Chain A
Amino acid sequence: MDFKDYYKIMGIERDASQDEIKRAYRKLARKYHPDVSKEADAEIRFKEVGEAYEALKDPEKRAAYDQLGANWKAGQDFHPPPDWDAGFEFSGGGYTGGNASDYSDFFESLFGQGFGAAQSGRPHAGFHSRGNDHHAKVLIDLEDAYHGATRSITLQAPELDSHGHVSTTQRTLNVKIPKGVKQGQRIRLSGQGSPGMGKGQAGDLYLEIEFNPHSIYKVDGHDVYLDLPVTPWEAALGASIKVPTPDGQVDLKIAQGTTSGRKLRLKARGIPGKPSGDLYVVPQITLPPADSDAARELYQKMEQELAYNPRSKLGV
């Protein structure tokens, strides 16, 4: 088991006051809160900070932790010395907040089970409570939102056994992804969370939909965007061209004099629903390379015959 340096995690000195600890916690909690932070490891950092605060905010736990000494380094292999907490008078140890199953083995070995035996987290007869909800993300492709899909999801869930020990179990669920889902939406699976205690109901499982980045489409809500390369003559003269959509190819008329970046709306060809989203095709005029004599001649001829100054509005 790795030693955890709670002071380092919170970025404070070992002699920090309780007020400083609280301030450091509030600041880090805001920074790493999974609902607020965009950092990839926000959830892990948030739990780490929560655990550090749980240990340091209580002067009794902090004193016991400090007694381990300042020579331990984070990540060092650690086993608590026998009777390490002897000589401390604990009034209300155990867990005071947060979800105990989120804490590390290190925390558990110091402050779990035996610590401050006055309180026990073990369920006792006649006690009923609803099981915890679980949350997970499902990655799907944009095409799945158009057609619906079935996804197999593997979840690791902490479970409390009859002795009150936390162990991790793995289970696989097949879940139907309905047609028309959007980025960030959630699917609720009733009763698929943690089992309840006593006669309490099981919690629910929430799956948050996230789209894999697509090689050609962008998604905004239920609208879909496609950058469509067009030739200068298609844009200038107008044309009917084939355009891919997540639902299959369509023919699209490009008006003459089409400019780059102008959005062409294909109604109801976005993500289906009530109402369906739209597909926006954004033409991007691309130039054929001047890599042959014939091509160079053509460009020179255009220069001579078209007398076109795209910078006339700039006064040059």
Chain B
Amino acid sequence: MKQTTLNGILLDEQTELTLNDLCRACSSSAEWIIELVEEGVLEPVGYQQTQWRFSGNSLQIAHTAMRLQRDLGINLAGVALALDLLDEINTLQARLCRFEPNDES
């Protein structure tokens, strides 16, 4: 069978998502996304909700927030704290990784 090559969307800082895009991709209500914005977890550009534009990595953050809230039973303030700490751990680990010797194999 002939295989076609799929082109996905890279969810980086250049990608723009609307509130509607995020709701659909998370199967969530707009209210829940708005709560994430109010908590400072997501930072859209644009003044009014209808003009909000989220960067591509917002989707990853929203998905993680959703799993943390659902699986661990923590409220959004706790989710926000956990996300900040995870972010910091990732930064530190990347930095630590730079000082470890390369794999000789």
The chain A residues found within 8 Å of chain B, CB to CB, are 26, 29-30, 33-36, 46, 50, 130, 133, 150, 152, 172-176, 178, 180-190, 192, 204-207, 213-221, 225, 227, 273-274
Contacts and interface: CB of A to CB of B under 8 A. Distances in A.
B60 to A, nearest CB: 6
B8 A207 contact: yes
Interface in B50-79: 57, 59-60, 63-64, 67-68, 71-73
Contact of B72 (A29, A172, A181, A213): A29
A26 B8 CA distance: 36
Nearest to B15: A188
B11 interface: yes
A172 B105 CA distance: 29
A172 B57 CA distance: 26
Which of B6, B82, B90 has the largest count of A CB atoms less than 10 A from its CB? B6
Contacts of A185: 10-12, 57
Interface in B27-71: 27, 57, 59-60, 63-64, 67-68, 71
Contacts of B67: 33-35
Contacts of A218: 97-98, 102
Contact of A30 (B3, B11, B72): B72
A214 B105 CA distance: 10
Given A130-B27, A214-B102, A220-B98, A36 B5 contact: no
Contacts of A180: 10, 12
Identify the interface centre among A35, A174, A189, A190: most chain B CB within 10 Å of its CB.
Answer: A35
B72 A220 contact: no
Given A29-B71, A35-B67, A213-B103, A189 B11 contact: no
